Structure 1
Amino acid sequence: MHRWQRITAAAAAVVSAAALGVALRDDDPGAQAMTLTAEQTSGAEHFSFTVRAAPVDGLVPGTDRRLVLTLDNPYDFDLLVTDLRAALVATSRAGCAPVPANLEVRRYTGPLPVRVDAGDSREAGTVPLHMPNTVVDACQRATFTIALDAAATRATP
């Protein structure tokens, strides 16, 4: 059985490069999927899997939305995802700090562990988002970067 460690820094770097658009407008053309790479902590093998999320529309002060996560397993064996976390790490506008007063990224809601069959994709729950009324005006039309952190093992038959 292989055990993968969470790689928060790697996840943040990849997510930042392919920023997920969570914007204050419905027509955000910059929204993209997120990719998380997890590396085995010992040995020479390298493993990765993808965590995707659809763009979030209609996020305005006082609203709640959900970031729906999908897991992709590229391997010929099943994965067992044992942990999923999300954190707000950046925004695209000066004056719009990545803080809960501007956007609250709440705890993952969904079943754990999540089994993802070999070569398959599976919806894996959601990350609730809340834009409080305290959001500053500088966040209008901003893109928020959300880093994902995950852990998985090779599932036993």
Structure 2
Amino acid sequence: MSRRTSALTIALSWATLMMVLFGGLGAAEPSAQGVSLNLRHSLELRLDAHRGPEAVAFEIGAAPVTGLYPGATKPMKLVIVNPTRFDLRIESLAGTVRSTTRPGCAPTPTNLVVRPRVGPPTLPMTVPAYQRREAGSVTLYMPNTVADACQGTVFDIRFQGSGAKVHK
């Protein structure tokens, strides 16, 4: 197994652990339009492959969001956790809808959109060693085109980011 494959396996294992620690499921919310849903987020530790031996891993956390219905937008706050002994420079953060739990409710922009991250703080940002920092939010938007099949579904939102070790 290559070093990179091994690191990726470790990263995905950490993602599963962190999803449990951050409480991955949101509660269902009924709406006037009859569509309700749960949101589940997963976390992905993104290794910065551009840095070679300087590759780092960090954790992206997000609180569950409730109360979405057709036409609604809701912010999802992000938190960066730096588990390393050195400061990290976070350069990018993004989220995408990866899957749903119901047939007929595709993970497409016609059902749920994760809009780009907004601050404050602005990126790049520094997260000190063994610290956590609020990292802005992404906005979740449920368009009016959401399929009836999405009623009661769970949307899996995967977060990714890139970062590097800060050299002092």
Short-chain TM bin: 0.7 to 0.9
The aligned residue for residue 75 of structure 1 is 84
After TM superposition, list the pairs within 5 Å mapping 1:1-157 onto structure 2. 14=15, 18=19, 20-21=24-25, 25=29, 34-39=42-47, 41=49, 42-43=52-53, 47-110=56-119, 111-157=122-168
Q: How many residues align?
A: 143
1:37 to partner: Cα distance: 1.9
Give SS of 2:67's match. coil
Structure (1/2) with the larger helix percentage: 2
RMSD over equivalenced CA pairs, Å: 2.9
Give SS of 1:143's match. strand
Contact kept, 8 Å, 1:75 with 1:118, in 2: the verdict is yes
CA deviations on 1:37-62 (whole Å, 9 max, x unpaired) are 2335334x874211000000101111
| Structure 1 residue ranges without an equivalent (≥5) | 1-6
Percent of aligned pairs sharing the same letter: 37
1:117 to partner: Cα distance: 1.0
Find the structure with the greater CA-based Rg.
Answer: 2
| Structure 2 residue ranges without an equivalent (≥5) | 1-7, 31-35
Change (3 A) 1:142 1:32: closer
TM-score normalised by L of structure 2: 0.73
Structure 2 distance, partners of 1:128, 1:39, is 24
Contact kept, 8 Å, 1:103 with 1:129, in 2: the verdict is yes
1:22 to partner: Cα distance: 5.9
